[in-house]
């Protein structure tokens, strides 16, 4: 099949699953106008209670409101708590370096997502969702990726991921390189339509990204699931749209002390 034929087949009976309101615009600009249905997982940010009402107003005015649903789940507060740029991957998302309450909410939300997404996935043919590194590196994007992928696999559905990454998340992205050639397709981003929806978010105070963001002209999607490989390796993935974000401090890797070093330290303190 050609790339265009793959894209046509994937978009037939497709459900797009995104973490937050406005993710459908930012990371899926070539398919958001074409999918059969869009599911937004989170609504309320407990740290910003006014945001939920703003987002509800957006949904009322959203150009795609007739094919958009929101699960209404609370965000977990997990953003930027996964020791980027070298986070630890878990079965439900990423390991958080966070207070116990936040880590518990993050893990609990995985099963809630699986339960809430199941009816939408069962009625779909193909699932499109976040990639395993959370685009620019968002813990809740990875959480939704894990849940959507698990439910898709359990129900025998195909699952596809976008090609966005950033200087925060590229280290994790590289761990998904392998020597298998996965099916991919390319889509042209409908930038004017994405800008229209973004302006709806802005008008209601619910836009969470850079105001001067300029959309890429095209996106690529890869068929999942993808698996990590922590060994030195070479591999193939797909063309990547990469964002350069403010730097992250790379955590130091502790050196294993030899017996001689330990002895010297004991002698000289």
Cα atoms in the Cβ-side hemisphere of radius 13 Å centred on 164: 25
Phi, psi of 184 (to 5 degrees): -135, 160
**Residues 39 and 104: beta-carbon distance below 8 Å:** no
Q: Is the pLDDT of residue 66 over 70?
A: yes
Phi, psi of 196 (to 5 degrees): -60, -45
pLDDT of 105-158, one tens digit each? 999 999 999 999 999 999 999 999 999 999 999 999 999 999 999 999 999 999
| Token pair of 132 as six digits | 């395993």
pLDDT of 89-111, one tens digit each? 999 999 999 999 999 999 999 99
pLDDT in the model for residue 249: 53
Q: Kindly list the structural domains of the chain, giving each domain's residue range(s) and its CATH number in brackets, ordered by start.
A: 3-268 (3.40.50)
pLDDT in the model for residue 259: 52
At residue 190, the 3 state secondary structure works out as coil
pLDDT of 164-187, one tens digit each? 999 999 999 999 998 888 999 999
pLDDT in the model for residue 196: 97
Determine the average pLDDT of the residues in 194-223: 97
Q: Is the pLDDT of residue 252 over 90?
A: no
């Amino acid at each position: 099949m050609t790339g265009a034929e793959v894209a046509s087949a994937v978009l037939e009976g497709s459900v797009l699953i995104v973490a937050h309101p406005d993710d459908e615009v930012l990371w899926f600009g070539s398919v958001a106008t074409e999918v059969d249905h869009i599911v937004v997982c989170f609504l309320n940010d407990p740290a910003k209670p006014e945001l939920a009402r703003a987002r509800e107003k957006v949904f009322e005015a959203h150009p795609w409101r007739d094919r958009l649903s929101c699960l209404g789940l609370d965000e977990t507060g997990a953003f930027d708590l996964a020791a980027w740029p070298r986070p630890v991957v878990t079965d439900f998302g990423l390991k958080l370096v966070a207070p116990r309450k936040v880590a518990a909410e993050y893990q609990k939300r995985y099963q809630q997502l699986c339960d809430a997404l199941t009816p939408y996935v069962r009625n779909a043919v193909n699932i499109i969702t976040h990639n395993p590194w959370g685009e620019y590196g968002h813990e809740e994007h990875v959480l939704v990726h894990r849940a959507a992928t698990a439910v898709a696999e359990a129900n025998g559905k195909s699952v596809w991921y976008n090609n966005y990454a950033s200087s925060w998340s590229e280290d994790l992205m590289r761990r998904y390189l392998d020597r298998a050639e996965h099916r991919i397709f390319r889509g042209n981003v409908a930038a004017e339509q994405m800008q229209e929806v973004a302006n709806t978010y802005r008008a209601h105070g619910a836009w969470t990204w850079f105001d001067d963001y300029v959309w890429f002209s095209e996106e690529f999607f890869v068929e999942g699931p993808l698996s990590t490989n922590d060994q030195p390796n070479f591999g193939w993935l797909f063309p990547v749209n990469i964002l350069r974000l403010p730097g992250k401090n790379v955590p130091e890797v502790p050196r294993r002390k030899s017996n001689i070093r330990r002895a010297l330290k004991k002698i000289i303190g």
